[in-house]
Structure 1
């Protein structure tokens, strides 16, 4: 029983497979929300803003490409309550239940050109069905209003997703084609496909040749300069006696 509206989740795990740098080795799903990455299992995960009543927590290991490992040892679940006990987010006894790992939401980026020569993204539906009768179930999914139903064991891959927003609904059906009871057996995720912006290379534009304006010829007026004649200096001779 959790008394506050927030709690910390600690995960104990052994022998995790190595994953590339920047990839989380574990993911957590609270109730029927989108997965949360756990980058470091040694650091407790905070779960804020918990509503009153029952909650269901799933923790599972993923490989270097973000896919569920799928074996039972790589999956764990726990049920807990906030303030009071009730039947919210509870498994239905004796029925299979669905966990959808990918797509988790967010944004996918296109890669090389697809069938029509346009950039496109590839996406595989990654999920796990557990519980009694799991192998006999069907998966019904709808991607942007296009419905398809396939056996649980069939791979579901979209090879040519163009840029845009997508809404995916995944539903677990029984062998009779009817929806299986349980809050976790219908999952909806929204994600975007975007084309990454490539860096633009700037091509220098050759500058036009600078216009040269010929300099105007200097007009020189040769004015005659006349020097005024200088009167010869008078020299005083020796004075005569009596002058």
Structure 2
């Protein structure tokens, strides 16, 4: 049993899990299905993540700390893919490439902070078992009520989109370059399976039950702003600082390498063919393509 070292603290009391792409196999047991296949995890032993430091409820002196974690039975991921992610408070996730290397958290403000660390698969999606997620609450210099969970209420963790830049495929809908993106999230706590997810992508609002698969199939190049909010069964926002998450990401079309082979001067000039027309009244469920921005947003912002 190989234990890696990374950083964060507090065991997770995961009563009910609900994912963006899966309905729990048995809500009463707290077990859920695999995000990538919709089937129970096939590992002989379930992946496990444990926060070693900072310990839960610890008071840290200084504006920086190291986060260390122990892990067991993590599934293999392709080269260049991180097996873990960390979220500090309500910020965007940070990839952890090597669980054996402690993660430094600099420039921490005074007061309470909430850490989450969880395992992901080779496609960057959260795993479907509660032991693959851990959380820790710690304090810098002094104890207070900042970044605290609301007792007795469910709470939201958004994994993807994490921010940064996505790249379009060669040809999407109607033959135009576009990107595909799935919303990957986790809802934990009492009443999680009864919640609703309300999201707004570039001013287009949608509300769906927890467990509903949410995929955007035809994102054109541009900048997108996403807001995800947890609602109760009554349709009202669930109280808690972590129950509304905002992320910004860019979609770009890769720049193709230009051929340096000279064109013979005798070559006849050609006129580009007119683009193929589409049938009248054709519609797309994807968000309206936003205006392009001056530059891409860095990963993790």
Would you call these one fold, judging by a TM-score over 0.5?
yes
- 8 Å contact from structure 2 (residues 87, 94) kept in 1: yes
- 4+ long deviations beyond 6 Å: 207-243
RMSD (Å), alpha carbons:
32.5
How far apart are residue 205 of structure 1 and its match? 3.2
Residues 225 and 16 of structure 1: CA distance in aligned 2, closer, same or farther (over 3 Å): closer
Number of matched residues?
A: 243
Cα distance, 1:15 vs. partner?
Answer: 0.8
Q: Distance in 2 between matches of 1:240 and 1:69?
A: 26
Q: Please list the CA deviations of residues 37-59 of structure 1 after superposition, one character each: whole Å capped at 9, or x if unmatched.
A: 11000000000000000000000
Residue in 1 that maps onto 2:128: 70
User: SS state of the match for residue 10, structure 1?
Assistant: strand
Q: Structure 1 residues 75 and 241 mapped into 2: Cα distance closer, same or farther (>3 Å)?
A: closer
- Could you say what secondary structure the match of 1:84 adopts? coil
5+ unaligned residues in a row in structure 2: which ranges? 1-58
Q: Give the structure-2-normalised TM-score.
A: 0.68
**TM-score, length basis structure 1:** 0.84
CA-CA distance at 1:200 after TM superposition: 1.2
Supply the distance in 2 between the matched residues of 1:33 and 1:242 (Cα, whole angstroms). 9
Bigger radius of gyration: 1
Contact persistence 2:165–2:298 (CA under 8 A): no
* Other-structure match for 1:104: 162
Aligned partners of 1:121 and 1:162 also within 8 Å: yes
3-state SS of the aligned residue for 1:122?
strand
Q: Deviations over 1:10-69 (max 9, x none)?
A: 011111110000000000000000000110000000000000000000000000000000
* Cα deviations by residue, 1:126-166 (Å, 9 ceiling, x for unpaired): 00000000000000000000000000010000000000000
8 Å CA contact 2:201, 2:225 repeated in 1: yes
Asked whether the 8 Å contact 2:165–2:299 carries over to 1, the reply is: no
Pair 1:236–1:36, CA change in 2 (3 A): closer
In structure 2, relative to structure 1, the CA distance for the partners of 1:146 and 1:227 (3 Å cut) is: closer
Retained in 1: the 8 A contact 2:219–2:286?
no
Given that 1:29 and 1:36 are in contact with CA atoms closer than 8 Å, whether structure 2 keeps it comes out as: yes
In the alignment, structure 1 residue 235 sits paired with structure 2 residue 289: no
Question: Does structure 2 retain, via aligned residues, the 8 Å contact 1:70–1:128?
Answer: no
By how many angstroms is 1:113 displaced? Answer: 1.4
Give the deviation of 1:112 after TM superposition.
Answer: 2.6
When structure 1 is superposed on structure 2, of 190-199 and 209-218 the one drifting more is 209-218
